Structure 1
Amino acid sequence: MATRSKRTVKEAPKELGDKPRYHHGDLRQALVDAAVALISEEGFGALTLREVARRAGVTHAAPYRHFTDKEALLGAVALEGFRAMAREMRERMDRAPEGPLEQLSAAGVAYVLFAVRHPPHFRVMFGPHFQRPLKPRSPEGEPDAFALLVGCIAAGQSAGLLRQGEPRALTLTAWSLVHGLASLFVDRQLDEAVQGLEAAEALAVVQTRLLISGLAHPGAGGNSDGR
């Protein structure tokens, strides 16, 4: 049963890549990193461009070279998160078997694990803290996280393994499950026994298998749980 934890837990920010410390050519990334660390340690209420500049070791005016205001900085954090989430999903899908159900399971598990590894990014990406675009920009030629799920659903339908219907409608069902589970982990609404990366992965695997069973085509034979 889910329980609410009243403790305040400071989460260490997780790096999304091997990025060097600030130098004269990397101010923008240094400011993004400082914002993520500040959100992790003190919450959104403490986030100001002045404090981000102090943490990055630059003048108070320096952030304005790249960001017009705090919302623009949060947009950069969110964009970094969306791109990293899609990348981690693709990487896990590349390691999974080629079947559409296995690919869907891998994508869903990776979505949850991204949130567990990078809670500050996840909160910025989906929280109410700034006005985000309806469709975050992705690098040219690279599908975003939702598009990856749509592709898995469509492939499963084409193979006769998933029920028919508009692929995006079924994808919304899949997204609702993995996003809900990810949010429960990020907000620490689950029992202590299922906290941590290993437990999150195990629970995400179980939940995605249940999802696939629910979306399975009524006439599909054999294995339909993504294993």
Structure 2
Amino acid sequence: MPKRGYHHGNLRQALVDAALELIEEKGPTGFTLSEAAKQAGVTPAAVYRHFEGREDLIAECAQQGYEIFADLMEYAYDTGQPSDLASFEATGRAYLAFARRHPGHYVSMFESGISINRTPELAHVARRAFAVLEKAADKLAEHIPEDKRPPKQMVSAHIWAMSHGVVELFARGSPGTKSPFPPEDLLESGIGIYLRGLGLIPPDS
């Protein structure tokens, strides 16, 4: 295998790319740094020039994933107009799309046990992604008197949990689970029921 890291001048990214492939194949705890080095075409000693250990490497995968994820969520929200509801639902579809297209990043972010507070940079970009749903919840609640509005952090956390559940059970091919409906339809109908229950959208929306 050619030493991709040395040849293209970006060994750090070559190791991240190798780790993402291994995470997708074996999970975040199913590979070693030596395997990542071999996948990248370098010696194990070369890894330590850039990463202190496997968790440090996975954290970098997670940070890059959150960058992609935050950009995707922001784009989905901005292009979901003309209605606030459409924008909200677009972020849910973006969540599913991200999990499908970037499984290595997704696992690094949500299933590796790496804290988003591991580094200031990781915490910042993760917060940027969370803020999109909070903004969407805030916009939907504008018509409700302020003292009666549900907390935007609560609403966004519930939608996040619902999105994550649909991804884990139905969008990523979990063994033994098969939905009679497309994951996008499941999530959209669930969001609609939840938001109507809170009074954030009228029954006929």
TM-score interval, normalised by the smaller of the two chains: 0.7 to 0.9
Secondary structure of 2:123's counterpart equals coil
Which stretch of the first structure deviates more once superposed, 154-163 or 108-117? 154-163
Out of 155, 165, 174, the residue aligned to residue 159 of structure 2 is 174
Please tell me the root mean square deviation across aligned C-alpha atoms, in Å: 2.8
What is the letter of the counterpart of residue 60 of structure 2?
Answer: A
Offset of 1:209 from its aligned partner?
A: 2.6
TM-score by length of 2: 0.81
Specify the alignment match of 1:191 in structure 2: 178
TM-score by length of 1: 0.74
**How far apart in 1 are the matches of 2:145 and 2:14?**
46
Out of 196, 199, 202, the residue aligned to residue 213 of structure 1 is 196
Seen in structure 2, the aligned counterparts of structure 1 residues 71 and 183 have a Cα distance that, compared at 3 Å, is same
What is the letter of the counterpart of residue 126 of structure 1?
Answer: F
CA contact (8 A) 1:77 1:124 kept: yes
**How far apart in 2 are the matches of 1:173 and 1:75?**
25
Which stretch of the first structure deviates more once superposed, 81-90 or 66-75? 81-90
Specify the alignment match of 1:68 in structure 2: 52
CA contact (8 A) 1:116 1:200 kept: no
More helix by share: 2
**How far apart in 2 are the matches of 1:156 and 1:131?**
30
CA contact (8 A) 1:161 1:216 kept: no
What 5-or-longer segments of structure 2 have no aligned partner?
none
* Count of residues paired in the alignment: 196
2:184 aligned with 1:201, yes or no?
yes
Identity of aligned residues (%): 33
Q: Deviations over 1:155-214 (max 9, x none)?
A: 1111349971221122222222112112223361531765xxxx3334333333333323
Spell out the pairing of 1:61-210 with structure 2 (5 A cutoff): 61-133=45-117, 136-138=122-124, 144-160=128-144, 164-184=149-169, 185-186=171-172, 188=174, 190-191=177-178, 199-210=182-193
CA contact (8 A) 1:153 1:170 kept: yes
**How far apart in 2 are the matches of 1:43 and 1:160?**
44
Offset of 1:129 from its aligned partner?
A: 4.0
CA contact (8 A) 2:84 2:136 kept: yes
What is the letter of the counterpart of residue 180 of structure 1?
Answer: G
- Higher RCO, Cα 8 Å, sep 6+: 1
Q: Deviations over 1:79-136 (max 9, x none)?
A: 1111211111122223212322111111122112211222222222122444442783
CA contact (8 A) 2:29 2:112 kept: no
Offset of 1:221 from its aligned partner?
A: 4.5
Seen in structure 2, the aligned counterparts of structure 1 residues 25 and 137 have a Cα distance that, compared at 3 Å, is farther
CA contact (8 A) 1:92 1:110 kept: yes
CA contact (8 A) 1:101 1:212 kept: no
**How far apart in 2 are the matches of 1:129 and 1:147?**
21
What is the letter of the counterpart of residue 39 of structure 1?
Answer: I
